[in-house]
């Protein structure tokens, strides 16, 4: 009986405490009308947005001028001069140190007439997975270059073998005599948003994790006797284009890049709302990385890729950007190559289409720099 009374007293105590708390909150709310409070909060939010937008956009050029000290006297001099920036870019992505914990598993994975393999490499609690396919005639006596083919956010490793915006460009590369490696990256905005939140809390990023997975795959795939290990290219579409631009500065084994449907005037894209293009909204939280726009516009990232050959593909009907701004950003990017006296190593494939890969141009570029002019790399 005594225990029951005590229990009831505790219930009454907590109930009274809850009522008193609600009463105090109600009294506090009487100090300011909902209209005034909302206007006050709206004003503060606008102050914060304007403050950060000014830092990211208006103050960018002055900040970047102090952050970069490029030496164009030679390709090696440029690489040395941007090494501090490269290290800071690595901090933006913060790829984790993954460790291989088993042997790679391979299984036959036919894609209609294409004989491919599905690879799975254990990396502790993670795995690195990809499709690997070789062109006809590839052998130890007839080694071939390899292209990393990276799908976009709404797609899968199989997509570049399909029609639509990819136009079967993986098949086009095979027909041109390239092996293709198609890594599995996480698809869908919602899934990437979810994982990116955890990644930030852990001091890394999803692109950083996916880079580390790719690097372990390259360690194994480039040891294949059918592949020329010093002839590696990467071609990504949309978010795969992001991966190409993000990873090439940190992975020197990638000698040539093609970026389709990603390259942009980055400050505008990320910060400035404009009816002429789609802006990344809070819905696409996965695309915001700590420190990205501290000193790394797209043309700045290009200087971490130079002097390696790079093609930018952009369609005038692609809603991700206002195409004249893409041209302006490219014009800033080509300066890096012009100052190195290597302007032929960068191209803008500005086409009349939309959010897509232009197969013939990309294959031509890869062929030029990985087969015909490979000694110049």
Tell whether the model's pLDDT for residue 27 goes beyond 90: no
Query: What is the arithmetic mean of pLDDT over 340-366?
Result: 98
Q: Indicate the pLDDT class of residue 6, thresholds 50, 70 and 90.
A: very low
For residue 33, is pLDDT > 60?
A: yes
Last residue of a domain, one of 66, 82, 103: 66
Per-residue confidence (pLDDT) for residue 282, from 0 to 100: 64
The last residue of a domain, from among 66, 87, 121: 66
Q: Residue 108: give its domain's CATH number.
A: 3.40.50.1820
Same domain, 43 and 121: no
State whether 221 and 318 are in the same domain. Answer: yes
* Same-domain check for residues 221 and 353: yes
Query: What is residue 372's predicted lDDT score, i.e. its pLDDT?
Result: 86
- Do residue 35 and residue 75 come from a single domain? no
Q: Tell me which of 41, 66, 91 is where a domain ends.
A: 66
Residues 6+ apart with CB under 8 A from 50: none
* Cα distance between residue 268 and residue 293, in whole Å: 11
Is the predicted pLDDT of residue 20 greater than 60, yes or no?
Answer: no
Q: State mean pLDDT over 78-83.
A: 98
Q: Give the ranges where 248-322 is alpha helix by DSSP (H).
A: 266-271, 292-295, 298-305
Pair (50, 111) in one structural domain: no
Q: What is the spatial distance between Cα 126 and Cα 101, in angstroms, rounded to a whole number?
A: 10
| 56 and 101 part of one domain | no
Whole-angstrom Cα distance, residue 307 to residue 252?
Answer: 11
If one compares 275 and 17, the residue with the highest pLDDT of the two is 275
Q: Is the pLDDT of residue 375 over 70?
A: no
What is the spatial distance between Cα 71 and Cα 80, in angstroms, rounded to a whole number? 8
Structure tokens at 375: 């000694």
pLDDT mean over 88-93: 97
3-state secondary structure of 204: coil
Asked whether the beta carbons of 210 and 183 are under 8 A apart, the reply is yes
The larger pLDDT score, comparing residue 269 to residue 176, is at 176
Quote the pLDDT of residue 286: 84
Together in a domain, 48 and 180? no
Residue 191 has pLDDT above 50, yes or no: yes
pTM (predicted TM-score): 0.89
**Alpha-helical segments (H) within 140-265:** 169-175, 189-201, 206-221, 239-247
Concatenating the DSSP letter of every residue in 109-171 gives --BTTB-EEEEEEEETTEEEEEEEE--TT--SSS-EEEEEEE--TT--TTGGGSSGGGTTHHH
Q: Is 107 helix (H, G, I), strand (E, B) or coil?
A: strand
- At 109-120, the pLDDT tens digits run 999 999 999 999
Residue 208 has a CB neighbour count (10 Å cut-off) of 22
12 and 101 share one domain: no
Same domain, 158 and 60: no
* pLDDT recorded at residue 317: 96
Categorize the per-residue pLDDT at 281 as very low, low, confident or very high, splitting at 50, 70 and 90: low
Domain containing 298: what range?
Answer: 71-376
Beta-carbon contacts of 161 under 8 Å, excluding residues fewer than 6 positions away, are 111, 112, 114, 168, 170, 171
Whether 271 and 204 share a structural domain:
yes
Report the C-alpha gap between 328 and 324 in whole angstroms.
Answer: 6
pLDDT score recorded for residue 331: 97
pLDDT at 270 (0 to 100): 82
Calpha distance 249→246 (Å, rounded): 7
Q: Name the average pLDDT for the chain.
A: 91
241 vs 256: CA distance, rounded Å: 13
Residue 280 pLDDT greater than 50, yes or no: yes
Asked whether the beta carbons of 128 and 220 are under 8 A apart, the reply is: no
What per-residue confidence (pLDDT) applies to 166? 96
CA 150 to chain CA mean position, Å = 10
d(CA 221, CA 215): 10
Cα 337 to Cα 341: distance, rounded to the nearest angstrom? 6
**Same domain for 31 and 163:** no
According to the model, what pLDDT value does residue 1 have?
46
Poorest-pLDDT segment among 256-265, 277-286, 358-367: 277-286
Predicted pLDDT of residue 276 = 80
The string of pLDDT tens digits covering residues 133-173 is 999 999 999 999 999 999 999 999 999 999 999 999 999 99
**In the predicted structure, residue 241 carries a pLDDT above the cut 70:** yes
Backbone φ and ψ of 123, nearest 5°: -130, 70
The DSSP string of 323-377 is: HHHHHHHHHHHHHHHHHTT-GGGEEEEEESS-SS--HHHHHHHHHIIIIISGGG-
- Number of folded domains that form the chain: 2
Q: How many CA atoms are closer than 13 Å to the CA of 109, on its beta-carbon side? A: 19
- Quickly state the pLDDT bin for 271 (edges 50, 70, 90): confident
Quote the percentage of the chain above a pLDDT of 90.
81
Q: How many CB atoms lie within 10 A of CB 205?
A: 23
Residue 273 has pLDDT above 80, yes or no: no
Whether 371 and 300 map to the same domain: the answer is: yes
């Amino acid at each position: 009986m005594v225990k029951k009374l005590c229990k009831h007293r505790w219930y009454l105590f907590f109930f009274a405490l809850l009522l008193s708390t609600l009463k105090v909150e109600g009294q506090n709310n009487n100090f300011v009308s909902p209209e005034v409070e909302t206007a006050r909060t709206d004003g503060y939010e606008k102050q914060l947005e304007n403050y950060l937008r000014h830092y990211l956009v208006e103050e960018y050029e002055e900040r970047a001028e102090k952050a970069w000290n490029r030496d164009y006297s030679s390709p090696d001099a440029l690489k040395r001069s941007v090494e501090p920036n490269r290290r800071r870019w690595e901090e933006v992505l913060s790829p984790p140190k993954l460790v291989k914990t088993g042997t790679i598993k391979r299984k036959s994975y036919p894609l209609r007439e294409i004989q491919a393999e599905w690879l799975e490499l254990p990396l502790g609690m993670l795995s690195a997975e990809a499709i690997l396919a070789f062109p006809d005639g590839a052998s130890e006596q007839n080694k071939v270059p390899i292209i990393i083919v990276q799908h976009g956010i709404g797609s899968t490793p199989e997509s570049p073998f399909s029609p639509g915006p990819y136009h079967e460009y993986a098949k086009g590369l095979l027909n041109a005599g390239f092996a293709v490696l198609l890594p599995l990256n996480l698809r869908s905005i919602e899934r990437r948003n979810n994982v990116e939140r955890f990644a930030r809390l852990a001091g890394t990023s999803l692109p950083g994790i996916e880079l580390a997975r790719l690097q372990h795959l390259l360690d194994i795939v480039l040891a294949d006797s059918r592949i020329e290990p010093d002839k590696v290219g990467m071609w990504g579409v949309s978010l795969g284009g992001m991966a190409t631009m993000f990873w090439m500065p940190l992975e020197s084994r990638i000698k040539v890049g093609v970026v389709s449907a990603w390259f942009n005037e980055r400050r505008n894209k990320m910060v400035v709302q404009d009816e002429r293009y789609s802006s990344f909204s809070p819905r696409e939280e996965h695309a915001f990385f700590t420190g990205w726009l501290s000193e790394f516009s797209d043309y700045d990232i290009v200087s971490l890729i130079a002097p390696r050959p790079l093609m930018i593909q952009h369609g005038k009907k692609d809603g991700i950007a206002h195409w004249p701004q893409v041209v302006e950003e490219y014009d800033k990017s080509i300066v890096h190559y012009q100052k190195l006296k290597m302007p032929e190593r960068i191209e803008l494939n500005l086409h009349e289409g939309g959010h897509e890969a232009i197969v013939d141009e990309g294959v031509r570029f890869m062929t030029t720099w990985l087969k015909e002019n490979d000694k110049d790399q």
